[in-house]
Amino acid sequence: MLEIKNLHAAYGEAKVLHGVSLTVNKGELVTVIGANGAGKTTMMKSILGLVPRVQGEIRWEGRSLLELRPWERAAAGIAYVPEGRRVFPELTVEQNLRMGAYTVRDQRQVQAGLEDVYALFPRLAERRRQRAGSLSGGEQQMLAIGRALISRPRLLLIDEVSMGLMPIMVERAFEIIRTLHRQGMTILLVEQNARQALAVADRGYVLELGRIVLEGTVAQLQQDPGVQAAYLGLGTGGRAGDGGGA
């Protein structure tokens, strides 16, 4: 569904991505793990058309995304759960959810999407008329995910879902991701919490300083000495993919 080839991205003269390539097949949950500042969010924003300078290729269902403006990419079936949740604090829960359906013209579809979200997140149904800014961090994360789901996307991009959440809410967030995957949703997840991300994914990539340094199945990444040392808190290996050592 999604294919990225030799992606370079920059903000002005500041180069962030250096030749990133990856694929996401239909029905897969693919994760990109990496430290803060590795370029994960820049990669997501490049897919969405929100980065000013991009070179390389990003293809969606065989078509170049670089031909499409950001709102056209959303209308094509790509939805985004942003880092830090980014809800509209002065709007109600339901108004926030409806913002996620701004590309959907059929109001029956919007209403069906609302019902689906409320079934997945009963807490949001209880708070549908409450200001989003008054919700807890975990509730806001539910709202951000629900806002992305309401348009019934074919690809869900999730950016740092665990950031700023208490451990119990991190577990809940990953349970939701696992449920969506079981239901057939195609997901690209970028995440600092490598242990949780690899526990739910099919395949993964390691992004360091704007470059993919390792890729493989979840089992391969979990067994890599560099990944164990740098991201899983195990062993004394070196950089991911180098087999350990200095």
- pLDDT of 244 strictly over 50: no
Q: What is the mean pLDDT of residues 135-140?
A: 86
Higher pLDDT, 105 or 218: 218
Q: What is the mean pLDDT of residues 72-80?
A: 91
- pLDDT of 105 strictly over 80: no
Q: Which of 128-137, 184-193, 237-246 is modeled with the greatest confidence?
A: 184-193
Q: What would the two tokens of residue 32 be?
A: 């990109």
Residue carrying the six token digits 């994960």:
40
- Residues 235 and 227: their CA atoms lie apart, in Å, by 9
Convert 80-115 to b/e letters by CB count within 10 Å (16 or more is b): bbbbebebeeeebbbebbbebbeebeeeeebeebbe
Q: What is the mean pLDDT of residues 75-88?
A: 87
Categorize the per-residue pLDDT at 138 as very low, low, confident or very high, splitting at 50, 70 and 90: confident
What are the residues whose beta carbons fall under 8 Å from the beta carbon of 73, sequence distance 6 or more?
A: 47, 48, 49, 60, 65
Share above pLDDT 90 across residues of the chain, in percent, rounded to a whole number: 58
In terms of Cα–Cα distance, which of 59, 101, 83 is closest to 157? 83
Q: What would the two tokens of residue 192 be?
A: 């600092």
Q: State the pLDDT at residue 56.
A: 94
Count CB-CB contacts under 10 A for residue 234: 13
CB-CB contact of 238 with 244 (8 Å):
yes
- pLDDT of 40 strictly over 70: yes
- Residues 39 and 190: their CA atoms lie apart, in Å, by 10
Strand partners, 5: 57
Categorize the per-residue pLDDT at 245 as very low, low, confident or very high, splitting at 50, 70 and 90: very low
- Residues 227 and 225: their CA atoms lie apart, in Å, by 6
pTM of model > 0.85: yes
- pLDDT of 69 strictly over 80: yes
156-214 pLDDT tens trace = 999 988 877 778 888 888 999 999 999 999 999 999 899 999 999 999 999 999 999 99
Categorize the per-residue pLDDT at 6 as very low, low, confident or very high, splitting at 50, 70 and 90: very high
Strand partners, 92: 131
Categorize the per-residue pLDDT at 52 as very low, low, confident or very high, splitting at 50, 70 and 90: confident
Helix ranges (H only) for the chain are 40-48, 70-75, 93-99, 107-120, 122-126, 137-149, 167-182, 194-200, 218-223, 225-230
CB-CB contact of 89 with 133 (8 Å):
yes
Categorize the per-residue pLDDT at 239 as very low, low, confident or very high, splitting at 50, 70 and 90: low
Share above pLDDT 70 across residues of the chain, in percent, rounded to a whole number: 95
Helices 137-149 and 107-120: crossing angle in degrees, nearest 10, is: 140
Q: What would the two tokens of residue 106 be?
A: 């059929």
Q: State the pLDDT at residue 232.
A: 87
Mean pLDDT, the chain, integer: 89
Higher pLDDT, 168 or 49: 49
Beta strand 29-33 pairing with 203-208: parallel
Domains of the chain: 2-230 (3.40.50.300)
Q: State the pLDDT at residue 209.
A: 94
